[in-house]
Structure 1
């Protein structure tokens, strides 16, 4: 089945300026009274060297990103309790300053549990060994340590004037990470109490920019809940006043032995993006220049859509077309020109051959 959705929308200004005031409504993040579409990419500062940062940031800017997002890695900064290290590739303050110098924003994801395909999700080992501790739940021992670290990071950013409210690049900050995935089955009522505490603790730090929680469908207000998935086009925030955002656009995942490679092609990524904007704009009725999105969600069958006075348009299976003025195709996601490499298993031609084994000490 193909889906035809029209929208009359006006492209938000993408002109960069450091904002003193960051807020939001159901349509967008608002920086200095200007609604913005923010395109962000991940660069995790401890996964590279200081010398690499300027080039990585410049490549992000050349790729037309507006913002860099990164986790803050607790285990690297506090290897021993209350003994901190922010030197070398752990100098996230310098990293943020370089991002600002390049004219980009920062999305700071403190966590401090980060997952991130990182050892123990970013928790330091000494935390696990504290008497009476239970991690990521309504446990006072854990909450004390989490609040101490989170507060330290926030205070360091304040001292360096890094929040947008201070003229800095940080426009959003995240507390916790994908907790909604495990809260109900693993933590129950204690998990709900914990996530409410997280929100209250974060808001009490008065950073002057919005806080977000990813994968948290019951995020307490005024926290913005965001989506992390392969497909977030149908995601809806839990608050009508929150903008539609996703913090992780998955293009791959762990490979299980014998399974197919879990990744999205460039064409599929493009489809997701355009369908995300299509549905977001259609549901919020934004006033933009005249554009039409033609969406075909059938995975196998192409479609021809008749717009009568504006002509007929061929829309390939699983694709979105964008029409300038609703009468001229300027983009179709199935026509992305990209190289795709696929690895397949082939049957061994010598399947019946006898194998020879030998043991060695």
Structure 2
């Protein structure tokens, strides 16, 4: 652990620079200490780029009302440094404004700088230009990577210091994180990994923020950095701090799970969350962060591979910032119960006792007489009566009772008293009239239309540089095959492929979150002599995790025309022409000021089997003060913009196991809207019907005390 004299010198230096009253943040083996006082802290993850500055005050206020003490957020490198040395902290990326809003409402901040974050965020938060740095290997003892990682980490720390936002300066930041779940990939890098972990810790501590640093899921986190737990059941799975001088902290308690296209929503009950939070506290845990407390929206193209636009919609605050009950209320009651006896929990001596075959208790007692008990029933099926201090207590199945005075039960994790609610979607406007829509047809480029050529199939991400989801592969070849019914065979490691032969759509296919590669075998009609093949490859977010992220391959891997097993024509190493992105993207047809005379919008035509079409309409903002959502359930796949702001990707055609789209409603933040004359632009890859699109308001309605179904959950890692 860092020496006391160094801490005091660092704190004094910060106070002298800023002139603010210092708040000393340290730790011992029980908890974080703020001004020498031990704290049990409840934290909630709210990610500033997944909402808007106009939403931040309400989200933070609802978290505070729910008993949250700390707001936790990642720092998103790719949005802040889109090009080396060029920084953006505007709008949704205004980190300083977000931190100051948290401070204004009297809460603390945990800043997870990373700068690798994963977070189901495209490329794990790395800016794609990092991929092109010569000799770079991400997240290991590699000098180019460490140079840029240190540059960005230092930039963020210096920005926070310059605004006086660390606790020793009177600011709200009490904790920082460096790296993120590195132990998941550590073995892949051999001995260099341990050197990297030590370097990262030393680099971070050397920035002298005056607050502790953590590494999550990193059992070898070097002193003074604290190793922390991520998962759903850290009270059961966490092996504990790697030093008796460090507290037990839980940086990610998954309130749900991220959802992918083709997947079902993950329902985690309020009772299950409460049980595992209480168990963690009973076993000396002192900091619990809910990941996510508000998930928000993957606006634009920010979601990682196959992740839907709504993020952690089942969190205590749903995608729109509405209370999800009873989850929000039950956790609020839990926080109040634990805080009512936190002094004894933090100062008392803990004892563990057996109360039965599947029952146990934890008791905290102070010399001055304070006493707190947790009575635990691990039986999932039955009520059980236990004896504790000559009294009988009935414990509900899979529950923990909290006794702040070791006598009276004030809270049981399975007894939900909070009200329940359900989401109400109310139509505000439909767009069912063809007269309301205009369209712009995206052309299919042929080989002669492309200026960039290569004698091989190029890797998708390295070619697009993440400027677009889309990459056209074009080819002109002479048909010398003898058969009349050739088959086009394409193997792809991208996410989606659409195939055109001589400007005619032949077919398409896609992978999924778990198996991203796929094969297309399509009958194709070829002309005698010259033929044009155009293949549109599409990514639905870049990968966000794993070792050697910089080496990932996406895109087409082989193209063949087959007549029979004996006769085929391999086109893989032919001369291919490439076009990055769509013409509509290049013209920014979603921005009114950029459409100009270059974009010839026309009246809506035949929408049946229409491929690669941009649709545009206008609408008035609903007068009611409720969240707004577009129902895109009649569309196929693409992206939507409101007044030039992307509300994210949609993929209605990708159904879950129940035959439904994984997401049909798409959040339109209120700050994107004008009072009148709002412009909606939708880019449809194919199969969508804009006449079925509608604008809706979203609200919640209180219902009876309904309980979430008991479902299975993923094992914690």
Normalising by structure 2, report the TM-score: 0.44
In structure 1, what is the Cα distance between the partners aligned to 2:124 and 2:658? Answer: 37
Whole-Å Cα distance in 2 between the matches of residues 268 and 340 of structure 1? 18
**In the superposition, relative to structure 1, how do residues 29 and 308 fare at CA in structure 2: closer, same or farther (>3 Å)?**
closer
Q: Distance in 2 between matches of 1:285 and 1:167?
A: 33
Alignment check: 8 A CA contact 2:204 2:213 kept: yes
Match of 2:383 in 1: 302
Structure 1 distance, partners of 2:259, 2:106, is: 37
**Alignment match, 1:172:** 175
1:47 has 2:50 as partner? yes
Aligned partners of 1:221 and 1:90: how far apart in 2?
32
Distance 1:286 1:24, change over 3 A: farther
Secondary structure of the residue aligned to 2:372 is: strand
- CA shift in 2, pair 1:346/1:285, >3 Å: same
- The answer as to whether partners of 2:263 and 2:657 remain within 8 angstroms in 1 is no
How many equivalent residue pairs?
A: 327
Query: Partners of 1:40 and 1:224 in 2: how far apart?
Result: 17
Q: 1:268 aligns with which of 269, 272, 275?
A: 272
**How far, CA to CA, are the matches of 1:52 and 1:333 in structure 2?**
31
Alpha-carbon offset, residue 251 of structure 1: 2.2
Partners of 2:169 and 2:43 lie apart in 1 by 21
- C-alpha distance in 1 between matches for 2:411 and 2:218: 34
- Tell me, in whole angstroms, the C-alpha distance in 1 between the residues paired with 2:167 and 2:394: 45
Q: Which secondary structure state, in structure 2, belongs to the residue aligned with residue 329 of structure 1?
A: coil
CA distance in structure 1 between the partners assigned to 2:75 and 2:373 by the alignment? 40
Q: Secondary structure at the residue paired with 2:82?
A: coil
Matched, 1:238 2:242: yes
Q: Which residue of structure 2 aligns with residue 5 of structure 1?
A: none
- Matched residues in 2 for 1:83 and 1:345: separation? 44
Shift of 1:253: 2.2
What SS class does the counterpart of residue 410 from structure 2 fall into? strand
For 2:398, the equivalent position in structure 1 comes to 318
Which residue matches 2:166? 163
Matches within 5 A, 1:178-193: 178-184=181-187, 186-193=188-195
Give the match for residue 195 of structure 1: 197
1:70–1:109 Cα contact (<8 Å) kept? yes
Match of 2:60 in 1: 57
Q: Distance in 1 between matches of 2:261 and 2:106?
A: 43
Post-superposition offset of 1:264: 2.2
> Aligned in 2, Cα 1:285/1:143: closer, same or farther, shift over 3 Å?
farther
Q: Distance in 1 between matches of 2:100 and 2:24?
A: 19
1:279 correspondence with 2:283:
yes
Does the 8 Å contact 1:265/1:340 carry over to 2? no
Task: Supply the distance in 2 between the matched residues of 1:308 and 1:116 (Cα, whole angstroms).
Answer: 46
Compare 256-265 and 214-223 and name the one that shifted more: 256-265
Moved more, 45-54 or 224-233: 45-54
Structure 1 equivalent of residue 371 of structure 2: 290
* C-alpha distance in structure 1 between counterparts of 2:278 and 2:230, whole Å: 17
Aligned-partner Cα distance in 1 for 2:265–2:61: 30
Q: 2:91 aligns with which of 85, 88, 91?
A: 88
- Contact 1:73/1:112, CA 8 A, preserved across alignment: yes
The answer as to 2:307 corresponding to 1:227 is no
Measured against aligned partners, the alpha-carbon deviations of 1:81-120 in whole angstroms (never above 9, x if no partner) come to 1111111111101111111111110100000000111001
Q: Which residue of 2 aligns with 1:113?
A: 116
Give the Å deviation of 1:262: 4.2
Counterparts in 2 of 1:146 and 1:308: CA distance versus 1, 3 Å: closer
Could you state the TM-score of these two structures normalised by the residue count of structure 1? Answer: 0.85
Gaps of 5+ in 2: 1-20, 285-344, 352-362, 423-655, 660-686, 688-717
* 1:15 paired residue number: none
Stretch of structure 1 that moved more, 56-65 or 278-287: 278-287
User: CA distance change for structure 1 residues 292 and 218 in 2, over 3 Å: closer, same or farther?
Assistant: same
Q: What does residue 26 of structure 1 align with?
A: 29
TM-aligned CA distance change 1:257 to 1:201, over 3 Å: closer
Mapped contact 1:40–1:65 kept (Cα < 8 A): yes
Deviations, residues 241-264 of structure 1 (Å, cap 9, x unaligned): 111110111122245799886442
Equivalent residue number for residue 139 of structure 1: 142
Report if aligned partners of 1:195, 1:219 keep a CA contact under 8 Å in 2.
yes
Which residue of 29, 38, 41 maps to 2:41? 38
Residue of 317, 323, 328 corresponding to 2:408? 328
Distance 1:216 1:324 in 2: 33
**C-alpha deviation, 1:308, in angstroms:** 4.9
User: Contact 2:364 / 2:371 at 8 angstroms: preserved in 1?
Assistant: no
Contact preservation (8 Å) 2:374, 2:402: yes
Distance (Å, rounded) in 1 between the aligned partners of 2:274 and 2:208: 37
Question: Which structure carries more relative contact order (alpha carbon 8 Å, separation 6+)?
Answer: 1
Structure 1 residues 130 and 289, CA, compared in 2 at 3 Å: closer, same or farther? same
Q: Residues 166-197 of structure 1: CA distance to partner in whole angstroms, max 9, x if unpaired?
A: 1111000000011111112x222111111110
The answer to which structure has the higher helix fraction is 1
Determine which structure has the larger strand proportion and give its number. Answer: 2
Greater shift in the superposed pair: 228-237 or 331-340: 331-340
Specify every segment of 5 or more residues in structure 1 that has no aligned partner in the other structure, as ranges.
Answer: 1-17, 348-359
> Could you say what secondary structure the match of 2:192 adopts?
helix
Residue 235 of structure 2 aligns to a residue whose secondary structure is coil
- Is contact 1:252–1:262 with CA below 8 Å preserved after alignment? yes
